[in-house]
Amino acid sequence: MKFVADEGVDSCIVERLRQDGHPVWYVAEMAPAISDEAVLDIANREAALLLTADKDFGEMVFRQRRFSGGIILIRLAGLSTARKAELVAARSTNDNQSWHRASQSSRPASVALAG
């Protein structure tokens, strides 16, 4: 599964996904401070799911009808970064097929990871 991680995603999550063999484009490494529109464009161009802690992407996709292959909203306040990485990695392994189907759909899809 391919991911684009928005700038606000903990680097520990990015590293864990990479260790598990997932290609991850990390905005904080590539182009910090680019617009949300540009981040969504990268995810779409790479046919990758977007990882974010920013609810603005839901606004763009559902209200503004911007195309997205899928958004995973990570809202895990109060947990250590290591625990967050563990949870996201576990979901990427367990839900790989459902996330893949969502990314191939023409309808907007989102998954929220909340703690």
Residue 72: CATH number of its domain: 3.40.50
Q: Is the pLDDT of residue 65 over 80?
A: no
Q: What residues contact 89, with CB distance under 8 A and at least 6 apart?
A: 13, 16, 17, 20
Work out the pLDDT band at 103, boundaries 50, 70, 90: very low
Report the sign of the C-alpha dihedral through residues 15, 37, 113, 94, in that order.
negative
The set of residues, in sequence order, having a beta carbon less than 8 Å from that of 27 and lying 6+ positions away, is 4, 5, 6, 7, 34, 39, 42
Task: Identify the helix (H) or strand (E) that includes residue 112.
Answer: strand 110-114
The closest alpha carbon to 58, from 5, 112, 114, 1, belongs to: 112
Is residue 48 within 8 A of residue 27, CB to CB? The reply is no
Number of structural domains (the chain) is 1
CA distance 59 to 66: 9
Domain span including residue 56: 3-114
pTM for this prediction = 0.79
Is the pLDDT at 94 greater than 80? The verdict is no
pLDDT (tens digit, 9 = 90+) per residue, 14-41?
999 999 999 999 999 999 999 999 999 9
Distance, in Å, from the CA atom of 39 to the CA atom of 27, rounded to the nearest integer, reads 7
